[in-house]
Amino acid sequence: MTNIDDETFAQLRDAIERFVTERLKPNEMHVEETDEIPEDLVGEMKDLGLFGLTISPDHGGIGLNCRQESEIAMILGQTAPAFRSLFGTNIGIGARGLILEGTEEQKERYLPKLASGEMIASFALTEPDSGSDPASLKTKAIRDGDDYLISGTKRYITNATRAGLFTVMARTDFEQTGAGAISAFLVPADAPGITLGAKDKKMGQRGTTTCDVIFDNVRVPASAIIGHEPGQGFKLAMRVLDRGRIHIGALATGMCKRLIQEMLAFATNRRQFGQAIAEFQLIQALIADSYTEFSAAQALVRSTAVEYDAAGAARTNASALKYFATEAVGRIADRAVQVHGGAGYMTEYAVERFYRDVRLFRIYEGTSQIQQLLIARQLIKNGL
């Protein structure tokens, strides 16, 4: 895959930055109030190529490498996360397995539609009793001649209501319990036997859609296995999440910047005791701590993305980045509310919404606690 050159990328970055500033930020409250993204914005996202940022130009996408993707994610993080979530599964976990290990036939069938936004991809891994331990998942894919029959329930599946394609992790080996028992399937959303649960009601991130996806003897051909090779699904999921964690870390870093901007704007305009509260040293401390964490997260985003592009993996640092940046944005959101005082608890101020929105970053695509375990285990195994 040929990546775009830096000059072309700079033009794309500038266009996306303008789009975020001029179109997305002014619509944040509309999305919060309606729980929907306006269709005209969806069309503009397609026209900008946002659904195909990481898909190869050979299949209709733009083909950003990890470094470039991370820079865009930091820009997208500066607005409501619902906007990025709409196309995030197409450029991330929903399509990444297909990009990494799909056959040419699979890629030619699906990637052009994903790159254009004609089709939405969704990643179906989590289950009611399987989240942080995906190797224990219960969804089964039973061989039936040249086909498989998939049955099970997936939970909290992002973009399930819009999806045209699911990447489904299912157990194909019932003799073993380890990672080798899991396979990854490409399942069209209109396949008979698929039903969707009620739309989840969440603490934050209104405008994003998640729900249960129930598979009841859904028949797919054996060729639907990504790469045609059973038993590789768990390994593939971990590879997908490796880059996905870099993306989420970059997204959280962008949100850190937006929150600091909100803090500064409020603190320089709000007056108490005859002066702007930005003049108070304890307010300055909150701002300084926030900037320091943002700056550290940004440096970790960039170094980890470079490592990933060079090596095709960045297991330890991807976890470190996801852990640090998502925890940092939680602390910064809390400080932003504190700087705003009582106003920060009111829905008319952006920091109230972001305070709720960023809480999810520490949970999905691997909780902070899972990242701690992964970091420690990698260090114990490989050293520093």
- Per-residue pLDDT tens listing for the chain (384 residues): 457 888 999 999 999 999 999 999 999 999 999 999 999 999 999 999 999 999 999 999 999 999 999 999 999 999 999 999 999 999 988 888 898 889 999 999 999 999 999 999 999 999 998 777 766 889 999 999 999 999 999 999 999 999 999 999 999 998 887 778 899 999 999 999 999 999 999 999 999 999 999 999 999 999 999 977 888 888 888 888 889 999 999 999 999 999 999 999 999 999 999 999 999 999 999 999 999 999 999 999 999 999 999 998 899 999 999 999 999 999 999 999 999 999 999 999 999 999 999 999 999 889 999 999 999 999 999 988
Q: How far is 333 from 352, CA to CA, in rounded Å?
A: 9
> Could you tell me if 55 and 297 are in contact, meaning their C-beta atoms sit under 8 angstroms apart?
no
Pairing between β-strand 147-158 and β-strand 182-188 as defined by DSSP bridges: unpaired
Among 234, 231, 226, 240, residue whose Cα is nearest residue 315: 240
Q: Is 175 a catalytic residue?
A: no
C-alpha angle 22-28-31 in degrees, rounded to nearest 5? 130
Any residues with CB less than 8 A from the CB of 120 and at least 6 apart, and which?
A: 89, 90, 94, 114, 159, 162, 163, 164, 165
Task: Please list, in sequence order, all residues whose beta carbon lies within 8 angstroms of the beta carbon of residue 328, skipping any fewer than 6 positions away.
Answer: 252, 253, 256, 293, 294, 296, 297
- Burial degree of 151 (CB within 10 A; 0-12, 13-18, 19+): middle
Q: Can you read off the two tokens belonging to residue 384?
A: 């520093």
Domains of the chain from N-terminus onward = 6-116 (1.10.540.10), 121-229 (2.40.110.10), 234-382 (1.20.140.10)
Tell me the C-alpha distance between 66 and 253, whole Å. Answer: 15
Q: DSSP code of 3?
A: P
The pTM of the full predicted model, rounded to 2 decimals, is 0.93
Is the separation of the CB atoms in 351 and 259 below 8 Å?
Answer: yes
Q: Are 76 and 67 a contacting pair, CB within 8 Å?
A: no
Residue count of the chain: 384
Q: Which residues contact 11 (CB under 8 A, 6 or more apart)?
A: none
- Distance, in Å, from the CA atom of 310 to the CA atom of 103, rounded to the nearest integer, reads 24
**Which tokens hold the place of 190?**
């209109």
Cα separation of 154 and 134, whole Å?
Answer: 11
Amino acid making up residue 134: P
